[in-house]
Amino acid sequence: MNRILKDLENLKTIVSNLKREKKKIVFTNGCFDILHAGHVDYLEKAKSLGDVLIVGMNSDSSIKRIKGEKRPIVSQDYRAKVLIALKAVDYVFIFEDDTPYKVIEIIKPHVLVKGTDWPIEKIVGKEFAERVERIPFEYDISTSKIIERVVKLYCSNKS
């Protein structure tokens, strides 16, 4: 069975089956452009809040609209392949919209997870979740910081 999903109908079927089996569904989302230790820690903590972790991942076109034409660095198929390889991640759903609102509306997760950098009032789809959890980041790392460091290293080596 493919655990990387792009079709909302497939997602509906999987979620329906999971709920029938009384599984506690956790949902989170993000770009996950360059996967790093901060992502892994965050996803492991999210998974610990339930039985099944579904990760909504922005598509390439969605990231371009949100972060600009030079992103993503890694294509959606490669990002999804790396995410699904993590023990904590049960399903990856690639969504085309700028937010996962429709996805959360369909899933109606038991737990919706975001980082503490998201104020509760800005968390999309919170009205569809039984509860919202905000997870603090344990690592001072981000995709943007990694890109900045690579650029600085590259530029300093050229001079």
What pLDDT digit, counting tens, does each position of 112-122 carry? Answer: 999 999 999 99
32-87 confidence digits (pLDDT tens): 998 989 999 999 999 999 999 999 999 999 999 999 999 999 999 999 999 999 99
| CATH class of the structural domain 4-158 | alpha beta
**pTM for this prediction:** 0.91
Domain extents in the chain: 4-158
Residue 138 token pair: 């344990």
- For the chain, the residue count is 159
Residue 145: pLDDT band with limits 50, 70, 90 = confident
Distance of CA 71 to the CA centre of its chain: 16
In sequence order, the 6+-apart residues with CB closer than 8 A to the CB of 53 are 26, 27, 28, 43, 46, 47, 88, 89, 90, 91
| HSE value, Cβ hemisphere, 13 Å, CA-based, for 77 | 0
